[in-house]
Amino acid sequence: MEFTACDEQFYEWLEQLQTVDFALIELNLFLDTHPEDLKSIQQYNQLSQERMRLAHQFQEVYGPLMNFGHAFSRFPWQWSQSPWPWQV
């Protein structure tokens, strides 16, 4: 699916994914030094589920976020369409 540069939902969903990814990275680093912090583990798991939900929602509308078997493609092959998520 092609979208225009003013497709606000595309950018909004990407920003939500980036926000969750940032929090997951920070929690991952924290848990490396605090492996028995149950609340942080619960938060990490909750955010992991939220990230999966957001990624699925994004991919259903705009196509794959990552290649090499991390996401399905519709017909025709979507990787030839840009911009790709990491280009915006």
Question: What pTM, to 2 d.p., does this model score?
Answer: 0.74
Q: Annotate 48-73 with DSSP letters as a single string.
A: HHHHHHHHHHHHHHH--SS-TTSS--
Query: Quick check: is 19 in a domain?
Result: yes
| 38-83 pLDDT tens trace | 999 999 999 999 999 999 999 888 888 876 666 666 666 665 566 6
Query: Quick check: is 36 in a domain?
Result: yes
Query: Quick check: is 87 in a domain?
Result: no
Number of domains in the chain: 1
Query: Quick check: is 46 in a domain?
Result: yes
Query: Quick check: is 40 in a domain?
Result: yes
Query: Quick check: is 43 in a domain?
Result: yes
CA atoms within 13 A on the CB side of 28: 8
Query: Quick check: is 88 in a domain?
Result: no
Predicted pLDDT at 63 = 82
Predicted pLDDT at 41 = 94
- What is the residue range of 62's domain? 8-66+74-81
Query: Quick check: is 2 in a domain?
Result: no
Residue 4 DSSP label: -
